[in-house]
Amino acid sequence: MTSKVQYIEVTGNEDGQRVDNFLFKKLKNVPKSCLYKIIRKGELRVNKKRVKVETKLHIGDMVRIPPIKIEAVDAPRAIPDNWLDKIEKAILLEHDDFLILNKPAGIAVHSGTGDHFGVIEVLRTLFSHQPMLELAHRLDKETSGCLIIAKNRKALLRFHDMFKQARIDKKYRVLVHGHWPKQLKKVEMVLARGAIGAGQRGVKTTEAGKFSRTYFKLIKQYDEISELEASIETGRMHQIRVHTAESGYPVIGDNKYGDWEKDKALLIKKSMRHMYLHAHEINFEWTDQPHSVRAPLPVYFSLLVK
């Protein structure tokens, strides 16, 4: 089918956004190649003028989107009521500019391959009156804990800047196999994405990647496991999981970098079969006000320790 001509006025949430990113948000079912084509051909107009891909929009600009052929797509799956209820109850803090959620393990932060919906889709359903909700950062699907969601573009860009400048302090709780040495307080590695064996892709140590650093504090030793607090200075993909595994103490329940045989012997009950990595605490300043939020540890942490 072919869409009609659309006229969209730029609001505060799109102020400063590149025109191509603006289109990606407004026309999610249209291939990016098609959107780039209408910009290059001059069919897309801003204030009746041709624009380039990198043109930035401003409040009050009028964007004319020409008729576009759109492929028919299946209607999105309805989000189950239990997930709507679970995510709503998991909100730890609501501010005019952001939400902080205690993300449950087992749900991705957004939809993707194999995931018909994620945290952000659930929240957009719950807060359908909210013009904008965007992830300020990410957590792995099986990682639980503090997750920030921005309510407007200004807040989103500010959070991105704060993460880059390490002005947001994130602390994780993690249970690992073995007795973590008390003197091992810092792990530094160069990491890169790529194949990690058995047809899996992930992160591995390399000489030509990105530098990463994690600080660890031993909380308590148990017979077969150690409880740690981890603070990340850099935010690389799977950073804590790779740092602990490469140090010889893999995260319990980690099906990518962990020890399957040890997990099998330890995680006997089905209710305990999780990855034991939790974003426990987040600290930052917002409009000169300190914010410190803690996400309670999931029940399965205490079950495993018992």
Q: What is the DSSP letter of 199?
A: T
* Spans of the chain, pLDDT less than 50: 73
Predicted pLDDT of residue 183: 95
Residues 6 or more apart from 175 whose CB is under 8 A from it?
225, 226, 227, 228, 251, 252, 276, 301, 304, 305
Q: How far is CA 86 from the centre of its chain?
A: 18
Predicted pLDDT of residue 76: 58
Domains 6-65 and 169-305 share a fold: no
**189, containing H or E segment:** strand 186-197
Assigned CATH for 6-65? 3.10.290.10
Predicted pLDDT of residue 1: 62
Predicted pLDDT of residue 219: 96
169-305: CATH superfamily: Pseudouridine synthase (3.30.2350.10)
Yes or no: is domain 81-164 CATH 3.30.70.20?
no
- The 10 Å Cβ neighbour count of residue 298 is 17
- The long-range contacts involving 289-295, CB below 8 angstroms and separated by at least 24 positions, are 291/93, 291/95, 293/92, 293/93, 293/100, 293/146, 294/92, 294/146, 295/92, 295/102, 295/144, 295/145, 295/146
CA nearest to 276, candidates 228, 242, 231, 232: 228
Predicted pLDDT of residue 292: 96
Is 97 considered catalytic here? no
Residue in the structure block whose two tokens are 């600009």: 61
**Separation of alpha carbons 18 and 63, rounded Å:** 12
Predicted pLDDT of residue 85: 94
**Separation of alpha carbons 146 and 139, rounded Å:** 9
**Separation of alpha carbons 193 and 306, rounded Å:** 36
Measured at the CA of 6, the angle between CA 116 and CA 47, to 5 degrees, comes to 125
Q: Select which of 20, 85, 115, 140 is catalytic.
A: 140
**91, containing H or E segment:** strand 91-94
Predicted pLDDT of residue 5: 87
Predicted pLDDT of residue 71: 61
What phi and psi, each to the nearest 5 degrees, are found at residue 147?
A: -135, 130
Say if residues 295 and 145 touch (Cβ distance below 8 Å).
Answer: yes
Beta partners for 101? 91, 147
Predicted pLDDT of residue 223: 86
Predicted pLDDT of residue 239: 95
Predicted pLDDT of residue 70: 67
The structural domains of the chain, with segments of one domain joined by +, span 6-65, 81-164, 169-305
Predicted pLDDT of residue 295: 97
